[in-house]
Amino acid sequence: AQTVTQSQPEMSVQEAETVTLSCTYDTSENNYYLFWYKQPPSRQMILVIRQEAYKQQNATENRFSVNFQKAAKSFSLKISDSQLGDTAMYFCAFMKHENFGNEKLTFGTGTRLTIIP
């Protein structure tokens, strides 16, 4: 079974600064995907960024980037130029590669991020 650990329950940062959220995972699989999801007070899970394990290049999406260390089983999220709208719960998630229709996401316990004006 896979596990995902987020060791930072809460973080806060000043607006416009950079913040890094940590995530580690445990798996014996070699082919998998990693995700960061954002959950604002509206409750909807919003995909922030996705990383395929077979890709060595770290994924980036505008102000969001990851540091994927496969050997260390680490997957951190860096938010640059943080904005007030980034305030939310952030969840790291793991998905083992399976035949379509048989996949599931395993989530960590989340990090509550607050951007201070």
Partner 1 sequence: DAGVTQSPTHLIKTRGQQVTLRCSPKSGHDTVSWYQQALGQGPQFIFQYYEEEERQRGNFPDRFSGHQFPNYSSELNVNALLLGDSALYLCASTSRGIPRGYTFGSGTRLTVV
Binding site for partner 1 (CB under 8 A): 4, 33, 37, 42-47, 50, 91, 93, 95, 98, 100-110
| CB closer to partner 1 out of 13 and 95 | 95
Task: Report the nearest approach of partner 1 to the CB of residue 117 (Å).
Answer: 26
Phi-psi label, residue 81: left if phi above 0, alpha if psi -120 to 50, beta otherwise: left
Identify residue 33 by its one-letter amino acid code: Y
Task: Report the nearest approach of partner 1 to the CB of residue 45 (Å).
Answer: 4
Dihedral pair phi/psi, residue 86, rounded to 5°: -80, -10
